[in-house]
Structures are given as C-alpha cells and as structure tokens.
Structure 1
Amino acid sequence: KAEEAGCKVVLVNPAHTTQMCSTCGAIVKKTLSDRVHTCSHCGLIMDRDLNASRNIMRLGLQSLANTA
C-alpha cells in the first residue's frame, strides 16, 4: 500500500521509545499503567503514546538519512 501511494515504509526498533524523552533523550522509567510522560530532566509533560510516536518518527527519519 505504501509503495502504491508513493511512500516508503521504514522499520524502527521500538525498544525504549516510550521511556526516552522526545525532547532531551533522557530515559524516564515508567510502568505500563503510566499514561503520561513526565521528564524530570527537561520538564516535558505529554501523553506517553505521543512521546513514543515522536521518538519513532525521529528514528525513522534518521534511518532514511543514513541510507541516502
């Protein structure tokens, strides 16, 4: 489907993407029931899934840049 739409799929290792702060990169330990990412290093507060999605996007873009 991605190819038909003129897009590219990039596989990203999701390890630690929910625990890494998408702003400063610090690892913030959480349990599965913790739904909010609160970074004690830079003060970022956001939904855990949004934080993870930003990390996944960054990793995917870095992967694309390394193959170009």
Structure 2
Amino acid sequence: MFREGVEGFEGGLSAKIYMTNTQISQPNATRDLPDLAEKGAFKKTGELRYTRYTRYQLNI
C-alpha cells in the first residue's frame, strides 16, 4: 500500500481497498483511516460509503 501511495488508488483510498491490501477487518479499517486523517496523514472526502482518503498536497 505504501509503495503505491494514495495516488495509486484511482478516486482515493476507501476502507474496502485498505482492508483488501492490509488484510485487516472492517472494524479496524474504519477505525484506522479516520485516525490517520485526524493525525494529518490523509485528507478525508465524502461521507459514509462514499468516504475516500487522499494525501495532502504540500505547497513547498
């Protein structure tokens, strides 16, 4: 998953894609992704089943 990066997932990273690539359960995926977004690793877009996560773009 880290090798592909978030851009490797067309339309963003969903919980389903995260579960498939990391082989974790749905409860763990739905806990992990919002936590990572809160910590600034991802930017959350959408709601409920349409939630996707993308990487923040840094303007340096």
Greater fraction of residues in helix: 2
Query: Same fold judged by TM-score > 0.5?
Result: no
TM-score normalised to structure 2 length = 0.34
Return the index of the structure with the highest Cα Rg: 1
TM-score normalised to structure 1 length = 0.31
